[in-house]
């Protein structure tokens, strides 16, 4: 009965007052009631309550932020309920909802400039004071109705569909509605940092509205989505953001997730728990083109499960296979000018996606070093790629000549996920590598560099800044971030003398396109 109601009820929903709203202030009316969820208030309340009653409640105490999907309720409501079930009996006075813009392009975070958002269950007052102060913290955060007001026949749904769940679990609360017109890392960081400055105490909750992969076969979607969810649990939002921009992983609200993680981290959250995963193929019979959904909680805990010190190891056979791949990749690139066709030789560990660097030395001197920081490909293919690039594409050196091949020595560094440094005392020389990022400037040094140079912690930080082309003390700047990682290192090490000032400078990272916005208003679009 309720499924028929979703598809047949008119798109303009019924609204009642749930708070004191100035009648002169504009109210964003429900735009997808009757399509994504029932327009009838009683029917909507029953549906949401039914989803909530069937959701499990995870043991999460000090909750800071949530991720919830934003598809039509028949597809994703049962997943969203696992996030919102955590809100029962919690005191939350303000909810910041961050959602992507599916239809309208703009280059800022749009904080709704009206007085309320309405659903069939009533109006939710906007916290105008909070919104104005937030917009004053950064030029890329603006009071606006861009992305909020329907445009060109399109009605943005990603924020709206979160609200009935919030109304049924929290009752009265104030809303800070934010639509991201772009989802690049710098905008997400700006919003996350600003939110962390604004939020005090436990009375404010952050909700990131996002679906996961789109329109892949069922098994392929599950594989892609679990890569994203693993990065969320590892708290590696920088690598995750880059993989979204490169379209290696997918989440149409990837930006909101990254912004929420940045804010939550600065508010003390240190654990991420995936509460539920499913996709549209779990609801409908067609599994040829599905959309993924995830429910996630970010919270504070005395323990931290996503530690960089968690063990990752390779057997001697696995290391030998990777070194063989590196050598053959270099030889193929130098002699034939093409990419080596490698194999994991049935070794499961080599099929894991990991970042890695390959360092080439000749007669004890550096001859090339390039790597993938993010886990973009399987380990065997990552080593294959970066070994070839170290030989022929490291712009600090001329390409390796065939006559040099017999003189090369190989070192492979397999990287852990990245984790932002909250306190420089977390950095341990000899264990950690560092990545310093400030705007478009970025520099990375592997763990063995600091150990071989006998640097102390501060010198290590300063030299990483130099590699980014920044002043040595730039790591202290408010707009600079320090990330640390560990590495499993094997092969032949280069000596201390091989590190030169020129090595401490690298090209700026490539700018990649952002995830495209869907433009369909057909029923199939309700999956996202």
Q: Give the mean pLDDT per block of 10 residues along the chain (528 residues).
A: 32 35 82 96 98 92 95 97 94 96 94 97 98 97 95 87 98 97 96 96 94 96 96 95 93 97 96 97 94 97 62 90 97 96 91 95 94 94 97 95 96 96 95 96 95 96 96 96 96 51 35 31 38
Distance CA 165, CA 175 (A): 13
Distance CA 361, CA 404 (A): 11
Q: Give, in degrees to the nearest 5, the angle at Cα 266 between 264 and 267.
A: 60
Amino acid 523: pLDDT = 34
Distance CA 271, CA 232 (A): 9
Amino acid 399: pLDDT = 97
Amino acid 527: pLDDT = 45
Per-position DSSP letters for 143-162, written without gaps between them? EE-TTTS-BTTB---TTGGG
Q: CB within 8 A of 22, min separation 6: which ones?
A: 115
Q: Which two tokens stand for residue 228?
A: 């994203």
Q: CB within 8 A of 60, min separation 6: which ones?
A: 86, 273, 297, 299
Residue 405 DSSP label:
G
Q: Which two tokens stand for residue 19?
A: 């708070």
Q: Which architecture does CATH list for 2-299?
A: 3-Layer(aba) Sandwich (3.40)
- Beta-sheet pairing, 94-100 with 174-180: parallel
What CATH number matches the domain at 316-504, 3.30.10.20, 3.30.160.60, 3.30.700.20, 3.40.50.11540?
3.30.700.20
| Tens-place pLDDT, residues 308-319 | 555 678 999 999
Q: What is the dihedral of CA 517, 521, 523, 528, to 10 degrees?
A: 20
Q: Which two tokens stand for residue 248?
A: 């290696």
Amino acid 89: pLDDT = 86
Q: Determine how many CB atoms are found less than 10 A away from the CB of residue 136.
A: 12
Judged by DSSP in three states, 99 sits in strand
Helix (H) or strand (E) holding 67: strand 62-68
The residues with which 490 forms a beta bridge, in sequence order, are 412
Q: Give, in degrees to the nearest 5, the angle at Cα 321 between 316 and 322.
A: 100
Q: In degrees rounded to 5, what are phi and psi of residue 91?
A: -95, 110
Q: Are 266 and 193 in contact (CB under 8 A)?
A: yes
Distance CA 81, CA 55 (A): 6
CA-wise closest residue to 134 among 259, 299, 261: 259
Strands (E), 132-254: 141-144, 174-180, 204-209, 214-216
Distance (Å) of CA 51 to CA 120, 164, 169, 180, 491: 17, 12, 12, 28, 54
Distance CA 498, CA 490 (A): 18
The residues with which 119 forms a beta bridge, in sequence order, are 122
- Beta-sheet pairing, 271-279 with 290-300: antiparallel
Distance CA 382, CA 353 (A): 8
Distance CA 169, CA 162 (A): 11
Q: In degrees rounded to 5, what are phi and psi of residue 53?
A: -65, -25
Amino acid 462: pLDDT = 97
Strands (E), 301-375: 356-362, 365-372
Distance CA 205, CA 63 (A): 8
Amino acid 64: pLDDT = 97
Q: Are 176 and 36 in contact (CB under 8 A)?
A: no
Q: Determine how many CB atoms are found less than 10 A away from the CB of residue 207.
A: 25
| Tens-place pLDDT, residues 404-432 | 999 999 999 999 999 999 999 999 999 99
Distance CA 58, CA 85 (A): 9
Boundaries of every domain in the chain = 2-299, 316-504
Distance (Å) of CA 420 to CA 3, 237, 437, 438, 484: 45, 9, 10, 13, 6
Q: Which two tokens stand for residue 326?
A: 């590196």
């Amino acid at each position: 009965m309720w499924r028929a109601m979703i598809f047949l009820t008119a798109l303009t929903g019924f609204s009642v007052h749930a708070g004191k709203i100035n009648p002169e202030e504009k109210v964003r009316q429900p735009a997808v009631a009757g399509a994504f969820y029932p327009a009838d208030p009683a029917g909507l309340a029953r549906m949401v309550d039914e989803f909530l009653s069937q959701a499990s409640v995870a043991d999460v105490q000090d909750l800071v932020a949530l991720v919830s999907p934003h598809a039509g309720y028949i597809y994703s409501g049962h997943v969203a309920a696992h996030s919102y079930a955590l809100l029962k009996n919690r005191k939350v006075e303000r909810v910041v909802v961050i959602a992507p813009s599916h239809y309208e392009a703009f280059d800022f975070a749009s904080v709704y400039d009206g007085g309320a958002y309405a659903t069939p269950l009533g109006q939710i007052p906007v916290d105008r004071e909070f919104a104005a102060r937030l917009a004053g913290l950064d030029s890329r955060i603006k009071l606006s109705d861009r992305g909020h007001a329907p445009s060109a026949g399109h009605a943005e749904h990603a924020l709206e569909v979160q609200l009935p769940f919030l109304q049924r679990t929290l009752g009265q609360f104030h809303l800070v509605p934010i639509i991201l017109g772009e989802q690049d890392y710098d905008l997400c960081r700006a919003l996350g940092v600003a939110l962390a400055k604004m939020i005090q105490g436990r009375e404010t909750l952050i909700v990131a509205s996002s679906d996961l992969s789109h329109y892949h076969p069922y098994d392929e979607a599950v594989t892609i989505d679990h890569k994203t969810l693993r990065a969320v649990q590892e708290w590696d939002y920088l690598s995750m953001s880059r993989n979204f921009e490169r379209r290696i992983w997918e989440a149409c609200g990837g930006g909101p997730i990254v912004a929420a993680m940045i804010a939550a981290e600065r508010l003390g959250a240190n654990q991420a728990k995936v509460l539920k995963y499913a996709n549209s193929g779990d609801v409908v019979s067609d599994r040829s083109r599905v959309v993924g959904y995830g429910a996630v909680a970010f919270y504070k805990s005395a323990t931290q499960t996503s530690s960089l010190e968690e063990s990752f190891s390779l057997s001697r056979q696995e290391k030998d296979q990777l070194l063989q791949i590196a050598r053959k990749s270099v030889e193929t690139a130098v002699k034939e000018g093409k990419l080596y066709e490698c194999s994991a030789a049935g070794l499961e560990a080599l099929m894991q996606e990991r970042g890695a660097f390959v360092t080439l030395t000749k007669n004890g001197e550096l001859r090339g070093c390039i790597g993938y920081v993010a886990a973009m490909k399987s380990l065997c293919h990552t080593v294959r790629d970066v070994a070839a690039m170290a030989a022929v594409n490291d712009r600090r050196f001329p390409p390796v000549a065939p006559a040099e091949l017999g003189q090369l020595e190989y070192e492979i560094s397999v990287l852990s996920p990245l984790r932002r440094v909250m306190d420089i005392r977390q950095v341990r020389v000899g264990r950690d590598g560092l990545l310093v990022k400030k705007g478009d400037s970025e520099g990375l040094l592997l763990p063995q560099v600091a150990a071989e140079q006998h640097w102390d912690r501060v010198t290590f930080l300063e030299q990483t800044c130099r590699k980014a082309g920044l002043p040595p003390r730039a790591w202290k700047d408010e707009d600079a971030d320090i990330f640390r990682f560990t590495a499993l290192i094997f092969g032949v090490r280069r000596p201390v003398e091989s590190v030169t000032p020129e090595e401490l400078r690298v090209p700026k990272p490539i700018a990649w396109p952002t995830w495209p916005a869907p433009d369909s208003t057909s029923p199939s679009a309700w999956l996202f």
